[in-house]
Structure 1
């Protein structure tokens, strides 16, 4: 691989992206400590690979994709080693869990498109899927959020 001259300092870019990266990792991991671990690993990898990366690539998309890939790899490892996967909606006293309404996949697609304002094409690249799949996932997330909003409104009335 050729080492390319790097005009910008990736560390500065990483610092500015940290809140967005952590928010995305929290949506996937649904646990603060696990999210921090994912972000830390991905940032470390980005620093090591920085001299070899194309400066034209969007760093945020590359890092979102790396977080998603690392998260999926860890899920596969847990399933392969027959560990008990903790229910995403359960609350534990040892580590604070986020109260999640949506599954990790629905929440991640919704976050990328609605909050991060990525196009379906960009979100599909991050999630390693198709644009149609992202569109369907975002639609499903919006439906679930609408149901929750309706039930909250009924409870208040």
Structure 2
């Protein structure tokens, strides 16, 4: 708010500087898509999630705190949107495909872990987020993330052992 030469208060319009967020969004796109793929286990659905979240981020950019990490905010938004869509499918009695069967029917995405295990593992092991940051993204506790990552590592170790046995 400023005071003009007549002594009246003027409210400055919020003029977004979308240049910075657009540049940041472009650099984050591969990471966002990878995370969305882990959750959705479908390329088209992952692209839709990323598109919606990026659109929301552009609209909310002028009102966001510059101190917040954009990547964490967007990962959280993708996770939230994905969970909302899963709830909508269940509420409308649509057939919700089992994640493991969807993964095996799609040759392009050979998923070994469930979406929740894979998402927690991706955030902590690949994206190198702390358990606290991953918990904020997944809207859960740090202990839950630690348990989920441990379970994912165990499942991956079992798969690795069975692969080694098959090769021998």
TM-score (norm 2): 0.87
Moved over 3 A (4+): 1-8, 91-97
- Return closer, same or farther for 1:96/1:4 CA change in 2, 3 Å cut-off: farther
Q: CA RMSD in A?
A: 2.4
Give 1:6's aligned residue: 17
Does the residue aligned with 1:8 lie in a helix, a strand or coil?
Answer: helix
CA distance in 2: counterparts of 1:5 and 1:26, whole angstroms: 30
Q: Return 5+ residue gaps in structure 1 as ranges.
A: none
Give 2:29's aligned residue: 18
TM-score (norm 1): 0.92
Conservation of the 8 A alpha-carbon contact between 1:65 and 1:125: yes
Residue 88 (structure 1) shift: 1.7
CA distance in 2: counterparts of 1:144 and 1:136, whole angstroms: 12
Computing the radius of gyration from Cα coordinates, the structure with the larger value is 2
CA distance in 2: counterparts of 1:9 and 1:92, whole angstroms: 36
Conservation of the 8 A alpha-carbon contact between 1:32 and 1:96: no
Conservation of the 8 A alpha-carbon contact between 2:18 and 2:58: no
Conservation of the 8 A alpha-carbon contact between 1:113 and 1:120: yes
Alpha-carbon deviations, 1:103-122, whole Å to 9, x = none? 00000000000000000000
Residue 7 (structure 1) shift: 8.7
Residue 87 (structure 1) shift: 2.1
CA distance in 1: counterparts of 2:101 and 2:44, whole angstroms: 16
Q: Return 5+ residue gaps in structure 2 as ranges.
A: 1-11
- Return closer, same or farther for 1:72/1:91 CA change in 2, 3 Å cut-off: closer
Conservation of the 8 A alpha-carbon contact between 1:112 and 1:118: yes
Conservation of the 8 A alpha-carbon contact between 2:41 and 2:102: no
CA distance in 2: counterparts of 1:94 and 1:101, whole angstroms: 12
